[in-house]
Amino acid sequence: MPLSNVSDDERKSRFGLRTLLDTSRLLIESHDIDFILNNLLLISMGKLMVNRAAILWFHPKKNSHTVRTSKGRHGLPEEVTIRRDLFRKQATALCSEHPELDHVCKYGFELLIAIRNSERHFGFLALGPKMDQSAVTSEDIEVLESLVFMSAIAISNSELVSELKTANRKLDYKIQELFTLFDLSKSFNASIDRDEIKRIFKFTLLGQLFVRRFFLITHRHGEPRIESQNGLGLELTRDQMRTLFELDRNIVMVDDDLRRKQPFLEQAQIHLILKLNNEGQEPAVIGLGKRANGVEFEQTDLNFLISLGNLALMSIQKTYLLEDQIEKERMEEELSIARSIQQRLLPDKTPEIPNLQLAATNIPSYQVGGDYYDLIRDGNHNLTMAIADVTGKGVPASLLMANLQSVLHILQPFDIGLVDATGQINSLIFQNTPSDKFISFFWGRFHHETRTLRYVNAGHNPPILLRKGSEPQLLSEGGVLLGALPTMMPYKEQTVPLQKGDVVVMYTDGVTEAMNGEEEFDEHRLIACVQKRMEQHPGEIMEGIISDVTAFCDNRFTDDLTLIVCKVV
């Protein structure tokens, strides 16, 4: 139909439809909310021929509206409160029909149209009066409501696109973090240099998260220690570090209350504290200042920091474990050498003595023990026997045992009685060893011609003399432990005549104190073990004792085991 034959109403209707179609295409293609709102204003102003318009944007948290964009002078305040219940049943309100809108209308607005969809209220389109002073028609309102409805759809689409972009950015960031953690894991695992691991940790915080102030504190062997720090401006004390491990949460944002309790956090400008405890390992604490770019830490940042901290913690602990292993291997090598030297200090074989059969052994519970025995034959074929137990185990005990052995061998060629010699040995040990180091010591001299044993017992387990038809006799005469006190009173010596078939068993407490649960092997079992083997050779008696003790404690020795068994023949 030619345009000349179209009525004014039809012409206006066609113009309105074309406007809506063009507007819908324009709005749908745009994902910029400000662009959508600005075009809504311009098109509405053009359609209604007004010179004043504004978009009042709703803020749910404040339950109020603010002017987001406007055209023409209006003087609206920064915040505007509008009762939303006015628009629950209708989308449009004329100021002339709603006195409760006077606080908006007095700024020169005549018409308010709600911008909303089925789920959300976005705000209002506010329009001033027509420039020709004509009234707003129902057709005008219909077109404007259609424009607003399409704008609301476009705004929803725009927000959805924005959320998708944000989600994609977060996903990209998360993927980047995973790649970063993967690369860091390879770097940490490839390094056994603790300083290099700390350097990687430091520059990851600086470069990845823009954190300039931080510390990493580990808890090793019950003591806190700074592994890495930057920009703190102070040295943390041991007590200050301990308070960080006592925090009751794993993620702590430092607030005013915590700053009052721990002023050093304010001084160091620490904003966030993370407690790490990976797979039951000794814990660690990371303290972080604010980010240099001013961005607050988000949950993804916290997850990254925890993963980074755990990687660094495991790698640092790995270096300590490696050092411990190296130290252990070094100690084991030194102990092996010490054990070899110690074994050379013990008799390599039992000497042959007239009228006496011998057997002796030393079984350390550790690689290097504190037990000692010696068998020294003089030029007259008499025998000096000694057995001792040094306090402690390992290298210190073996050194003290070596000193005792050297003193005995120095004194042996000289004609010094047991009493005087024991006093001199005690004085030497007392003067040259710490107060917590001492030796239980027994020694005696067997004279083969008279079959007598002269002995001195310096606090040692009394050797047992067993004779057929008689009660066991304990050889306990002597004095105090070597090294416990200065020699103020002479030691006592005892002479014991021996008969054919007599058995003397000298031992350390590793024999009688071998445990089966809470029960000890004790002297009674030792005596019973020897009595049933009185007819055997000392070597067989000794093997029988070892067998019984081993069975009793299920081969779990907690102390050295040393035996000297001699039998008069």
Residues 402 and 307 in one domain: no
Domain membership of residue 273 (yes or no) is: yes
Q: Report the alpha-carbon distance of residue 106 to residue 92 in Å, rounded.
A: 18
Residues 72 and 219 in one domain: no
Q: Report the alpha-carbon distance of residue 177 to residue 355 in Å, rounded.
A: 86
Domain membership of residue 169 (yes or no) is: no
The three-state secondary structure class of 214 is strand
Range of the domain at 513: 348-568
CATH of the domain at 54: 3.30.450.40
* pLDDT in 10s for each residue of the chain, 569 residues: 443 444 555 545 554 556 555 666 666 667 788 888 998 898 888 888 999 999 999 988 888 899 999 998 888 888 888 876 666 656 788 887 888 888 888 888 988 998 888 888 898 999 999 998 888 888 888 888 888 888 888 888 888 888 777 767 766 666 666 666 666 677 767 677 888 888 888 888 887 788 899 999 988 877 898 888 998 888 899 999 999 988 888 899 999 999 999 999 999 999 999 988 766 567 889 999 998 888 898 888 888 888 888 888 888 888 888 888 888 888 778 777 777 777 777 888 899 999 999 999 998 776 556 788 999 998 888 999 999 998 876 667 777 888 888 888 888 777 788 999 999 999 988 888 887 888 999 999 999 999 999 999 999 999 999 999 899 999 999 999 998 888 888 999 999 999 999 999 999 999 999 999 889 999 999 999 999 999 999 999 999 999 999 999 988 887 888 999 999 99
Residues 10 and 115 in one domain: yes
Residues 8 and 150 in one domain: yes
- Angle 240-241-243 (CA atoms, 0-180°, nearest 5)? 70
Looking at residue 27, the DSSP 8-state letter turns out to be H
Residues 153 and 21 in one domain: yes
Domain membership of residue 177 (yes or no) is: no
> Which segments of 282-377 are extended strands (E)?
284-288, 356-363, 371-377
Q: How far does CA 389 lie from the centroid of its chain?
A: 41
- Burial profile 315-337: b = 16 or more Cβ within 10 angstroms, e = fewer: bbbbbeeeeeeeeeeeeeeebee
User: 53, 73 in Cβ contact below 8 A?
Assistant: no
Sign of CA dihedral 81, 84, 86, 90: positive
Predicted pLDDT of residue 376: 92
Residues 352 and 470 in one domain: yes
Can you read off the two tokens belonging to residue 442?
A: 């027994």
Q: Report the alpha-carbon distance of residue 28 to residue 32 in Å, rounded.
A: 10
Residues 307 and 364 in one domain: no
Residues 518 and 562 in one domain: yes
Residue given tokens 């960031």 in the structure block: 173
Provide CB contacts within 8 A for 442, sequence distance 6+.
386, 387, 388, 455, 456, 457, 458, 460, 461, 462, 463, 475, 478, 506
Domain membership of residue 428 (yes or no) is: yes
The three-state secondary structure class of 499 is coil
Q: Is 404 exposed, middle or buried (0-12, 13-18, 19+ CB in 10 A)?
A: buried
Query: What is the model's pTM?
Result: 0.53
Residues 63 and 197 in one domain: no
- In the chain, the amino acid numbered 140 is D
CATH of the domain at 384: 3.60.40.10
- In the chain, the amino acid numbered 312 is A
Phi-psi region at 455: left, alpha or beta (left = phi > 0; alpha = psi -120 to 50): beta
Residues 255 and 355 in one domain: no
Domain membership of residue 328 (yes or no) is: no
Residues 102 and 233 in one domain: no
Q: What is the 3-state secondary structure of 388-443?
A: EEECCCHHHHHHHHHHHHHHHHHHCCCCCCHHHHHHHHHHHHHHHCCCCCCEEEEE
Predicted pLDDT of residue 462: 96
Residues 272 and 311 in one domain: yes
State the total domains in the chain.
3
Q: What is the 3-state secondary structure of 160-211?
A: HHHHHHHHHHHHHHHHHHHHHHHHHHHHHHHCCCHHHHHHHHHHHHHHHCCE
Domain membership of residue 473 (yes or no) is: yes
Among 305, 321, 337, which residue terminates a domain?
321
Domain membership of residue 60 (yes or no) is: yes
Domain membership of residue 329 (yes or no) is: no
